[in-house]
Amino acid sequence: MTPGPVGRGIQKLRKGGIEMRLGSLRNGGGTRVVAQAADGWVDVGRAASLAEPLATSLRALLAAGPDVIERVREAVGASDVAGRLELDATRLGPPIADPGKVLCIGFNYGEHAAEFGMERPTFPEIFLRFPSTLAGPYDDVPLPAASDHLDLESELAVVIGRRGRNVPRSEALEHVAGYMVFNDFSVRDFQFRGSQWTAGKNFDGTAPCGPLLVTADEVADPGSLAIGSDIDGVSMQSSNTRHMIFDVATLIAEASTFATLLPGDIIATGTPPGVGYKRNPPRFVATGEVVRCWIDGIGELRNRVVPEAEWIARR
């Protein structure tokens, strides 16, 4: 599949004016941390002389702290930087391939709650995804053999960069490493056949994200970003993160009251209205169709849906 514009709205790590975004490149049986700089791709481990696991895990790199991130920034910005790559973007995996936690928020847009006949929530509706559900920004996504009720959900995802527990809302954004696009594909019949959503939200490979980590300093206001989705070019969702009921700072503060947030943890902040399940008739995603989820200034995902048996056979 031809990827979308990975370089759209290339972000800057402002200190030193060095343009850079971070991601995970599949490399044989493992991954390498890569940066998309203004003039091409860089293998971060080679450029900054990083040993494993810092060279192979973006989560480990974030956990190493600001001094290591500054070292990476300086290395990638050097005129004679080592580690230049000719990179096929389809080899990009999820930016954070090994998060400790993936927290997702349900019904965080008022119109989305309304299309499901739900009242606006008083507190964030938090559920969990397993890391095994994560997929790369251009990966094929499986249509489960057990269901044809696969539905899309375009979301802004927050990646935590600093450990925190009981984080005050006023300090919450200081804990953000950056942002990415997240498609919370949902298998609706499995999601709603019981009181818990776990099964319908955790089919393997149904949460593509990326394409890269856009650093927090480049997102002036995560609560003012155009967001949307389409299937084979036909628009499904079109909204703005300003319509979130609970903003990013509130979600971090709320989540950190019961769990210690760690570098590399992901919070998917909920989806706007327009999903297929509540259309008349319902519009589920079929095999062969390409789903695009996008957020202005962050990037876009493009994922083709394939039969689960085909997806499994390739792994």
301 close to 183: Cβ distance less than 8 angstroms? yes
Clarify whether residues 145 and 83 are in a common domain.
no
Closest CA to 215 of 48, 8, 22: 22
**In a shared domain, residues 221 and 289:** yes
Alpha-carbon distance of 240 to 110, in angstroms, equals 12
Q: Which residues does 42 contact at the CB level (< 8 Å), separation at least 6?
A: 34, 35, 36, 76, 81, 83, 84, 85
Give the integer Cα–Cα distance in Å for 25 and 32: 5
- Tell whether the model's pLDDT for residue 7 goes beyond 90: no
Domain assignment of residue 86, yes or no: yes
What is residue 119's three-state secondary structure? coil
- Kindly report the pTM of this predicted structure: 0.94
Q: Are residues 151 and 70 in the same domain?
A: no
111 with 183, same domain: the answer is: yes
Token code pair at residue 132:
């095994």
Task: Read off the tokens for 294.
Answer: 């996008």
Report the pLDDT value the prediction gives residue 111, as an integer from 0 to 100.
95
Same-domain check for residues 185 and 292: yes
Residue 3 lies in a domain: no
**CATH number where 116 lies:** 3.90.850.10
Residue 180 pLDDT: 98
If you average pLDDT over residues 294-301, what whole number do you get? 97
Residue 198 and residue 289 in one domain: yes
Examine the fold and report which residue of 92, 126, 147 is the final residue of a domain before the chain moves on. 92
Which range has the worst mean pLDDT, 22-26, 115-119, 138-142, 244-248?
A: 115-119
Are 7 and 300 a contacting pair, CB within 8 Å? no
The per-residue pLDDT of the chain, averaged, comes to: 93
| 7 located within any domain | no
Q: Is residue 279 part of a domain?
A: yes
Last residue of a domain, one of 45, 67, 92: 92
Shared domain check, 57 and 129? no
Give the end of a domain, one of 43, 76, 92. 92
Answer yes or no: is pLDDT of 11 > 50: no
Residue 174 in any domain: the answer is: yes
**Same domain for 152 and 249?**
yes
Burial class (CB in 10 A: 0-12, 13-18, 19+), 186: buried
Per the structure, the count of domains in the chain is 2
Measure the CA–CA gap between 273 and 75, rounded to whole angstroms.
42
Instruction: Provide the 3-class DSSP secondary structure of residue 293.
Output: strand
Domain assignment present for residue 181? The answer is yes
Average pLDDT on 156-162 reads 98
**Residue 13, pLDDT score:** 38
Outline where DSSP puts E strands in 173-274.
176-183, 186-187, 207-215, 226-231, 234-240, 266-268
Residue 1, domain member (yes or no): no
Same domain? For 25 and 129 the reply is no
| Residue 10's pLDDT band (cuts 50, 70, 90) | very low
Handedness of CA 178, 179, 184, 185 (dihedral sign): negative
Phi and psi at 250, nearest 5°, equal -65, -40
Same domain, 209 and 81: no
Residues 214-254 have pLDDT tens digits of: 999 889 999 999 999 999 999 999 999 999 999 999 999 99
Residue 129, token pair as written in the block: 């995804």
67 in the same domain as 113: no
User: Domain residues for 71?
Assistant: 12-92
Do 122 and 160 share a domain, yes or no? yes
pLDDT confidence band for 18 (50 / 70 / 90): low
